[in-house]
Structure 1
Amino acid sequence: MIDWKKAENIACDFLKKKGYRILERNYRTRYGEIDIIARDGKEIVFVEVKSGTGRVDPLERIDRRKVRSIERSARIFMIQNDVEGPIRVDFIRVTPGRVDHLEGIWLGW
């Protein structure tokens, strides 16, 4: 079993190898948490990490409410840090021996 902390570490290492720069981890607002905030070129990327080994795909645990929470928290991050530019939301699925990166699930607002 991969716990959430290990999954996030694996996801960060994966993103760094792809050339992303990690800006923040476990960013919390009153609306929820964003696991990883990174920069990919000019884009700010808000990343949700899911892990698991069960019968249910970890990504199935992401619902409309979670996406809305990420969106609201992302807006707060952009305002608090006076950051502008294109943004996107990515999901990373971490399972034993495999990392899947789904880019651009949600593109800006």
Structure 2
Amino acid sequence: MSVKDELTAVQRCLDDLDRAIGRLEQHLGKGVLDVRRIRTDAGHLRESVALLRAGRGGPADPPHAGRPGLQQMVPIPDAPYDASLWQDADDEGLGCRDRRAP
């Protein structure tokens, strides 16, 4: 079996694991600490497989693929914010603008 096939098999197993964890959550409840811990560990495994795929030059799955309830990342532009938003705000931790910081 090639590495690509192995990674695909691991991905299928992780999908099965996610479904099994979902069934556990239905029986035990989402708030149970151990179930949340298993969900988090499965997410880490999914991210590791995505990194392996990306490192091998194959298509990487989005980190949150197959993980319901998680939101996608939102890009934040590098352009500076409008200065008028901060007219009445003090620099946090530095005191007022017209006085010197201690």
Give TM-score, length-normalised by structure 2.
0.34
- When Rg is computed on C-alpha atoms for both structures, the one with the higher figure is 2
Which one has more relative contact order, counting CA pairs under 8 Å at least 6 apart?
Answer: 1
Give TM-score, length-normalised by structure 1.
0.33
Answer 1 or 2: which has greater helix percent.
Answer: 2
